[in-house]
């Protein structure tokens, strides 16, 4: 099925989610964008498409975007987030058994959260992963001393970056992508990621943590500034 230029442009732009905020801020060069997407548009139309026609279609899409109901987007929500960093962490992965699970739960009950001790347990039918303080590592290895084969692997010298977010993030697409792209840009590997109702945590190498912390903190600050500029009287 061949598309019209307008429909082709609309579909191509719908796949470029990262352009939505630049569109709203009015910082996209339509001519440059038209040249970039021209081959994609022609692939859908099955024939050559003129740059002027593509630019007009881009403008129509921007107008439609502006007429959509104003809901809080990713950057608006980021401005409401807070960021924290914890170092000196370790992640231990085990084969799951009922006996080991009981030992982990018993240990978890004795963790003093008020004093700053932390443990996060994630499990599947055949695996248990424990994220905790490095000083607790020997305790967990003792749990499997009778059967060391239960240890699948362990990662030490880790850091955990946690973003506390408003609940509306749960219904907003692009939030996780925006954050993970900060790691990708810096060339930093994400060792683990887990979330709850109001918090999202990324685990990475401790040596990489300061760089990614500074980068995400800047994204949050810039998001707040953008919201302040939008709400300021003209």
Judge contact between 129 and 93, C-beta under 8 A. yes
Q: What is the pTM of this model?
A: 0.70
Buried b (16+ CB within 10 A) or exposed e, 130-168: bbbbeebbeebeebbeeeeebeeeebeebbbbbbebeee
How sure is the predictor about 171, in pLDDT bands with cuts at 50, 70 and 90? confident
Q: Using 50, 70 and 90 to split pLDDT, how confident is the model at 125?
A: very high
Helices (H) and strands (E) in the chain, counts: 9, 6
Q: Output the CA–CA distances (angstroms, integers) from residue 28 to 22, 34, 73, 75, 123, in the order listed.
A: 6, 11, 18, 17, 45
Question: What pLDDT is attached to residue 66?
Answer: 57
Per-residue model confidence as pLDDT tens digits over 61-109 = 877 765 544 445 788 888 899 999 999 999 999 999 999 999 999 999 9
pLDDT band at 225 (very low <50, low <70, confident <90, very high): confident
- Give residue 164's pLDDT: 97
Q: What is the pLDDT of residues 178-214, one digit of tens each?
A: 899 999 999 999 999 999 999 999 999 999 999 999 9
Structure tokens at 86: 């914890």
Average pLDDT of the residues of the chain: 90
pLDDT confidence of residue 218:
93
pLDDT at 69: 42
Q: How confident is the model at residue 232 (pLDDT cuts 50, 70, 90)?
A: low
Give pairs for 230-233: CB < 8 Å, separation 24+: none
Task: Tell me how many degrees the CA angle 102-104-160 measures, rounded to the nearest 5.
Answer: 155
When pLDDT is cut at 50, 70 and 90, the band that residue 3 belongs to is: confident
pLDDT at 187: 95
pLDDT beyond 60 at 234: no
pLDDT for the residue numbered 144: 97
* pLDDT at residue number 72: 58
């Amino acid at each position: 099925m061949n598309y019209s230029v307008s429909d082709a442009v609309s579909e191509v732009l719908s796949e470029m989610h990262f352009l939505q905020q630049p569109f709203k801020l009015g910082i996209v060069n339509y001519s440059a964008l038209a040249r970039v997407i021209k081959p994609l548009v022609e692939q859908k139309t099955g024939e050559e498409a003129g740059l002027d026609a593509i630019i007009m279609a881009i403008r129509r899409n921007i107008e439609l975007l502006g007429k959509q109901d104003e809901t809080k987007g990713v950057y608006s929500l980021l401005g409401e987030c807070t960021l924290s960093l914890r170092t000196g962490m370790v992640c231990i992965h085990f084969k799951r058994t009922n006996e080991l699970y009981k030992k982990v739960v018993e240990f978890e009950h004795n963790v003093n959260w008020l004093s700053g001790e932390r443990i996060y347990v994630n499990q599947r039918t055949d695996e248990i992963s424990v994220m905790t303080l490095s000083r607790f590592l020997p305790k967990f290895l003792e749990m499997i001393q009778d059967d060391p084969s239960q240890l699948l692997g362990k990662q030490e010298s880790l850091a955990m970056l946690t973003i506390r977010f408003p609940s509306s993030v749960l219904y907003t697409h692009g939030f996780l992508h925006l954050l993970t792209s900060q790691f990708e840009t810096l060339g930093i590997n994400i060792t683990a990621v887990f979330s709850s109702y109001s918090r999202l945590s990324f685990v990475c190498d401790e040596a990489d943590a300061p760089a990614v912390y500074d980068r995400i903190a800047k994204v949050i600050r810039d998001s707040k500034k953008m919201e302040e500029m939008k709400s300021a009287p003209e």
